[in-house]
Structure 1
Amino acid sequence: MSKRILVIQGHPDPAGGHFCHALAEAYVQGGREAGHEVRLVEVATLDFPLLRSKEEFDNGTPVEAIRQAQESIAGAGHVVIVYPLWLGTMPALLKAFLEQVFRPQFAFDLSNGKGWHKRLSGKSARIVVTMGMPALIYRWYFGAHGLKSLKRSILSFSGIGPIRDSLIGMVEAEDGEQRGRWLETMRRLGREGR
């Protein structure tokens, strides 16, 4: 069964050429080979301002690039977010993008006075994180705190689930063979749409 998939490539370097870019492309390629409709958003190429107040977050009008990203998320059944681990969490540019996109009235609704309404229910997600340390150390010693924040406070809060993750450690020490296995894993996940 064909799916509509959105891949958000969150590496902040617009020049490309990083392993995150290759992983995102492998996922896109696998998804398209399987007949899925796959869109790719490169956060580093988008022009959008930082949010600096609650008023902007609650009531500001999104710029065109953010509005298009919201439309892509709304139309997708599965969302994939790829980023490198920086200081234990996602790069600041990706966080700024998510703050712009996952606003009230798009991602959730608090206006009914009875708590929040999750507006993105029915979608699944995969988070792919690359890092210099072993993935096991990040997950168990550091508690994967940055990953948990993205899962719980942004995606799940908006109704997205299930949320799966792929943690890729020691990327700077990996040889071509190991990187090739990860790229094939991403192609397979793209074909499977998960």
Structure 2
Amino acid sequence: MSKTICILDGHPHRAGNHLCHALAEAYKAGAKAEGHKVTTLTLADMDVNFLRDPAEFEKPATGDIAKAQKAVRNADHVVVIYPLWLGTMPALVKAFFEQLARGGFAIKESEHGWPLKMLKGKSARVIVTMGMPAAAYKIIFGGAGVKGFETGILGMSGFKPVRETLIGGAYNLSDKRAASLFGRMRALGAKAS
């Protein structure tokens, strides 16, 4: 059964041959080959401002963020790809999700004060590249930055299940390992998982 997929390429630097961009392309290729409909949003190309006034969070999104809300709303499955910077997501990715959630798009307060999950029925995969071994990030640091994103943003918005792929040693990939990773991304894309 074909699905609608939204890939969020969260590497802040558009130029260059970054692994995140290549992983997004491989996932997209696998998904399209299997007949899934795919939209890719490249955060580095978008106008993403920082929210500074809490009142702005309640206002509807405009511009690139409104387009991103539409793409996420229409998706069955969302893939978020970013590099680990200082133990968590780059500031651009965090700013994007703050903007994306605005206007009650992702979370709304209920009359009882408990948040309503506005994006129920969607699944997600988080793909994070890092220089250190992925096992070290999970064991030594508890994977805290990624877990916080998965539970505090995606989970609170209603995404379920949320799966993760942590790719360690990203700056020293052999050609063989890179080919294997791209094959894995194409397979995940084909399954929309």
User: In structure 2, what residue type is equivalent to 1:21?
Assistant: H
The equivalent of 1:49 in structure 2 is 49
Note if contact 1:125-1:162 (Cα within 8 Å) is conserved in structure 2.
yes
The ranges of structure 1 where at least 4 consecutive aligned residues each deviate by more than 3 angstroms after the TM superposition are none
Corresponding position: 1:158 with 2:166: no
Aligned residue for 2:82, secondary structure, equals: strand
Q: How does 1:170-181 map to 2 (within 5 A)?
A: 170-181=169-180
TM-score of the pair, normalised by structure 1: 0.96
Q: Distance in 2 between matches of 1:78 and 1:176?
A: 29
Q: Distance in 2 between matches of 1:86 and 1:181?
A: 24
> How far did residue 61 of structure 1 move?
3.2
Note if contact 1:81-1:127 (Cα within 8 Å) is conserved in structure 2.
yes
The equivalent of 2:33 in structure 1 is 33
Q: Distance in 2 between matches of 1:116 and 1:87?
A: 29
User: In structure 2, what residue type is equivalent to 1:94?
Assistant: V
Note if contact 2:59-2:103 (Cα within 8 Å) is conserved in structure 1.
no
Note if contact 1:126-1:166 (Cα within 8 Å) is conserved in structure 2.
yes
The equivalent of 1:145 in structure 2 is 144
Q: Distance in 2 between matches of 1:94 and 1:114?
A: 27
TM-score of the pair, normalised by structure 2: 0.97
Note if contact 1:48-1:63 (Cα within 8 Å) is conserved in structure 2.
no
Q: Distance in 1 between matches of 2:109 and 2:188?
A: 35
Aligned residues: 193
Query: Which blocks of at least 5 consecutive residues in structure 2 are unaligned?
Result: none
Note if contact 2:48-2:92 (Cα within 8 Å) is conserved in structure 1.
no
Deviations 1:117-150 (A, max 9, x none): 1110010000000000000000111000111111
Q: Distance in 2 between matches of 1:81 and 1:189?
A: 13
Note if contact 1:30-1:187 (Cα within 8 Å) is conserved in structure 2.
yes
The equivalent of 1:95 in structure 2 is 94
User: In structure 2, what residue type is equivalent to 1:37?
Assistant: K
Q: Which 10-residue stretch deviates more, 99-108 or 74-83?
A: 99-108
Q: Distance in 2 between matches of 1:79 and 1:73?
A: 7
Aligned residue for 2:172, secondary structure, equals: coil
Aligned residue for 1:172, secondary structure, equals: helix
Query: Which blocks of at least 5 consecutive residues in structure 1 are unaligned?
Result: none
Q: What's the RMSD between the two structures over aligned residues?
A: 1.0
Deviations 1:15-41 (A, max 9, x none): 142000000000001000000001100
Percent identity, aligned pairs only, is: 45
Q: Distance in 2 between matches of 1:145 and 1:3?
A: 30
User: In structure 1, what residue type is equivalent to 2:102?
Assistant: R
Aligned residue for 1:103, secondary structure, equals: helix
